[in-house]
C-alpha cells in the first residue's frame, strides 16, 4: 500500500531533482577532457577512465541499492547518496593529481548508482496510481534533460572558467538537492531488512564490470582484452542468474523478467536511451570537427530539442494516464526512425538551424517513450516486485548509456576514416535501425495495452 501521509508532489520534486543530477553527471565532465589532459599531462586513454570508472562504479551500485533500499531508512539512504556526489565533487575539484581526480569521480559514481533506482522507487511509492504516467513522465524528462543540458552548461562554464569550476558548480547543485531532501523527504519505504548475499554481490559486480568495460573499450582499446573481459562478465552473469533462483534471499529477484510485457518494456526503454546517449555525443562531435563550430554553438544546436522534450515528457505522461502506451510508443519510434534518417540524408548541409529542427523530433520521440514505457512495464508488476523491477530497469539504463556512447562513437570514428560525413551518416542510420526494432516491439506493447484495456484491468 502507498504511504498516504507523504506529499506526492514534494517527493516527486526531490526524486526528479536527483534523477536530473544523476544523469546530468554521466556526461558533464566529458566536455572538459581536453583541458584536464593538458593540466595533468595525460593522454586520451588515461583521461577516458574518468568516464569508464564512473560508469562501472555506478553500474555496480545499482543492484546493491535494492538491498540498501529495504535495509536503510529512505531519508538516510537518499541523503547519503547525494552526500557522496557532494564529497566526490569537492575531492575532484581540489585534486592535486589525476589519481585524486579519478578517486573523486569514483566517489561520485557510488552516489549516482544509488540515486537513480532510489529516486524511481520513491516516485512509485508516492505517486497516485491514476497519475503514475504523469509522475514517471516528469522523471523521464529529467533523464533526458540531464545528459543533454550538461553539455550546454559545461560549455558555458569552460568559456569563462577552468574545469575545477565545473565540479564546484555541480557540488552546489547537489547541495541544493541535499538540503531539499533533508526538509522534504521522510522514510517512505517499508524496511524488510533482507540478508545480503555476498557471493551474489561479487558475481554481479564482476559481471557488470566485465560486460560494460568490454563494450566501452571495444573501439578504443585492446580488442582482445575487451573480448576477454566481456566473456568473463557474461560467465559471471550466468552464474549470478542461476544463483538468484536457488537462494532464499536473492540480491535481485529476477522474476520480473519472466513477465513478458515488463521484459519487452525494459528493452524498449534501453533502445530509446541508447539513441539519446548516442546522438547527444555524435552530433556535437560532428558539428565541431567537420562543421567547424564551437563547442558552445554545437551545444546550443541541441537546446531546442532539449527544451521541447522537457515539455513533451509530462504531456506524454498525462496521455498515458488516459489512453495507455499503445499510441505513444509507435509514434515515438516512428519520429526517431524518420528524423535520424533525415539527419543522415541532409548531412551535407551547413545550416545549424536545419540540424536543430531535424533533431527536435528525435529527442521528442524519446520523450514519448521513456516515461510511458517505464510506467507500463512497472505497472505489470506487483507492489512487492516493484523495487526489483526498478533495479532491472536502472541497470538497463547504465548498459544503454554504455552502448549508446561507445558503439555509436566507434561507428562514427570508423566511418570518419573516409569522411566525417560518412561517420555521422553511419551513426544516424544505425540509430534509425534501433528505432525500427523499437517500433516493432512497440506494436507488441500496443497489442498488450489494448487487451488490458478491453479486459478492464
Task: Please state the three-class secondary structure of 145-170 as a single string.
Answer: HHHHHHHHHHHHHHHHCCHHHHHHHH
Residue 78 lies in a domain: yes
Query: Of 176, 193, 210, which closes a domain?
Result: 193
| Backbone phi, psi, residue 369, to 5° | -105, -50
**Is it the case that residue 432 has pLDDT exceeding 90?**
yes
**Residue 41 is assigned to a structural domain of this protein:** yes
Structure-block grid coordinates of residue 416: 570518419
CA quadruple 173, 175, 177, 180: dihedral positive or negative?
negative
d(CA 428, CA 343): 7
Question: Is residue 270 located within the same domain as residue 318?
Answer: yes
Shared domain check, 272 and 217:
no
Structural domain including 143 reads: 1-193
Which band of pLDDT confidence, cut at 50, 70 and 90, is reported for residue 6?
low
| pLDDT for the residue numbered 311 | 81
Between CA 432 and CA 67 the distance in angstroms is 38
229/95 same-domain check: no
Regarding whether 67 and 181 lie in a shared domain, the answer is: yes
Q: Give the mean model confidence (pLDDT) for residues 26-49.
A: 77
pLDDT value, residue 221 = 65
Q: How confident is the model at residue 336 (pLDDT cuts 50, 70, 90)?
A: very high
Rank 122-131, 157-166, 212-221 by mean pLDDT and report only the highest. 157-166
Residue 242 within a domain = yes
Find the distance separating the first CA and the last CA of the chain, reported in whole Å.
18
2 or 192, higher pLDDT = 192
Work out the angle at residue 349's Cα, subtended by the Cα atoms of residues 344 and 352, and round it to the nearest 5 degrees: 100
Among candidates 354, 149, 135, 369, which has minimal Cα distance to 275? Answer: 369
282 located within any domain? yes
Domain identity same for 160 and 226: no
What's the confidence (pLDDT) of residue 440?
Answer: 93
| pLDDT, tens digit (0-9, with 9 covering 90-100), for 128-168 | 777 777 777 777 777 777 776 777 788 788 878 888 999 99
Q: Does residue 294 register a pLDDT over 50?
A: yes
Convert 341-355 to b/e letters by CB count within 10 Å (16 or more is b).
bbbbeebeeeeeeeb
All 3 cell numbers of residue 418? 573516409
Which pLDDT belongs to residue 189?
Answer: 66
| 323-352: average pLDDT | 86
Q: Within this chain, do residues 139 and 64 fall inside the same structural domain, yes or no?
A: yes
Spatial neighbors of 293 by CB under 8 A, at least 6 apart, are 287, 301, 352
Separation between Cα atoms, residue 232 and residue 244, nearest integer Å: 18
Average pLDDT in the chain: 83
Does 212 lie in the same domain as 357? no
Residues 332 and 394 in one domain: yes
Measure the CA dihedral 418/419/420/426, to 10°.
Answer: -60
Are residues 242 and 154 part of one domain? no
Considering its fold, how many domains does the chain have in total?
Answer: 3
Instruction: Assess if residue 357 is contained within a domain.
Output: yes
Whether residues 205 and 186 fall in one domain: no
Within a domain: residue 456? no
In a domain? residue 440? yes
Which CATH number does the domain housing residue 131 bear?
1.20.1250.20
Cell 494516464 maps to which residue? 321
User: pTM surpassing 0.85?
Assistant: no
**Strand spans (E) along 9-106:** none
Percentage with pLDDT > 90 across the chain: 20
Q: Is residue 457 part of a domain?
A: no
Q: Which residue among 250, 272, 291 closes a domain?
A: 250
Looking at the structure, tell me whether residues 3 and 35 fall in a common domain: yes
Span 38-43, average pLDDT:
83
Decide if 344 contacts 425 (C-beta within 8 A).
Answer: yes
User: Do 150 and 234 sit in the same domain of this protein?
Assistant: no
What are the pLDDT digits (tens) for 22-33? Answer: 888 877 887 777
Amino acid at each position: 500500500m502507498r504511504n498516504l501521509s507523504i506529499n506526492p508532489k514534494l517527493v516527486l520534486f526531490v526524486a526528479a531533482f536527483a534523477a536530473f543530477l544523476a544523469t546530468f553527471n554521466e556526461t558533464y565532465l566529458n566536455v572538459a577532457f581536453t583541458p584536464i589532459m593538458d593540466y595533468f599531462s595525460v593522454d586520451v586513454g588515461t583521461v577516458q577512465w574518468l568516464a569508464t570508472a564512473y560508469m562501472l562504479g555506478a553500474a555496480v551500485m545499482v543492484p546493491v541499492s535494492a538491498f540498501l533500499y529495504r535495509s536503510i531508512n529512505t531519508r538516510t539512504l537518499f541523503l547519503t547518496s547525494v552526500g557522496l556526489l557532494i564529497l566526490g565533487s569537492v575531492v575532484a575539484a581540489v585534486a592535486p593529481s589525476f589519481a585524486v581526480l579519478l578517486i573523486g569521480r569514483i566517489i561520485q559514481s557510488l552516489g549516482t548508482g544509488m540515486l537513480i533506482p532510489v529516486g524511481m522507487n520513491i516516485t512509485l511509492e508516492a505517486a497516485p496510481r491514476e497519475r503514475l504516467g504523469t509522475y514517471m513522465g516528469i522523471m523521464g524528462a529529467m533523464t533526458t534533460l540531464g545528459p543533454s543540458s550538461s553539455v550546454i552548461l559545461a560549455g558555458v562554464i569552460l568559456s569563462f572558467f577552468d574545469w575545477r569550476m565545473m565540479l564546484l558548480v555541480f557540488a552546489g547543485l547537489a547541495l541544493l538537492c541535499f538540503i531539499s531532501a533533508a526538509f522534504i523527504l521522510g522514510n517512505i519505504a517499508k524496511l524488510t531488512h533482507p540478508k545480503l548475499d555476498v557471493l551474489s554481490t561479487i558475481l554481479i559486480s564482476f559481471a557488470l564490470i566485465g560486460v560494460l568495460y568490454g563494450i566501452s573499450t571495444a573501439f578504443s582499446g585492446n580488442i582482445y582484452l575487451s573480448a576477454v573481459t566481456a566473456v568473463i562478465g557474461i560467465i559471471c552473469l550466468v552464474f549470478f542468474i542461476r544463483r538468484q533462483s536457488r537462494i532464499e534471499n536473492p540480491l535481485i529477484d529476477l522474476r520480473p523478467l519472466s513477465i513478458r510485457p515488463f521484459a519487452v518494456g525494459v528493452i524498449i526503454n534501453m533502445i530509446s536511451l541508447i539513441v539519446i546517449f548516442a546522438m547527444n555525443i555524435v552530433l556535437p562531435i560532428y558539428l565541431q570537427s567537420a562543421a567547424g563550430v564551437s563547442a558552445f554553438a554545437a551545444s546550443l544546436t541541441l537546446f531546442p530539442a532539449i527544451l521541447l522534450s522537457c515539455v513533451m515528457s509530462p504531456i506524454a505522461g498525462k496521455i498515458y494516464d488516459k489512453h495507455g502506451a499503445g499510441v505513444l510508443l509507435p509514434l515515438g519510434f516512428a519520429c526517431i526512425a524518420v528524423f535520424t534518417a533525415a539527419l543522415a540524408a541532409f548531412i551535407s548541409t551547413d545550416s545549424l538551424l536545419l540540424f536543430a529542427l531535424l533533431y527536435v523530433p528525435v529527442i521528442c520521440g524519446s520523450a514519448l517513450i521513456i516515461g510511458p514505457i517505464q510506467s507500463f512495464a512497472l505497472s505489470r508488476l506487483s507492489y512487492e516486485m516493484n523495487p526489483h523491477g526498478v533495479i532491472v530497469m536502472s541497470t538497463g539504463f547504465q548498459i544503454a548509456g554504455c552502448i549508446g556512447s561507445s558503439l555509436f562513437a566507434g561507428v562514427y570514428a570508423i566511418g570518419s576514416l573516409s569522411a566525417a560525413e560518412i561517420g555521422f551518416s553511419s551513426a544516424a542510420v544505425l540509430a534509425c535501425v534501433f528505432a525500427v526494432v523499437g517500433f516493432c516491439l512497440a506494436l507488441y506493447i500496443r497489442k498488450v495495452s489494448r487487451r488490458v484495456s478491453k479486459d478492464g484491468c
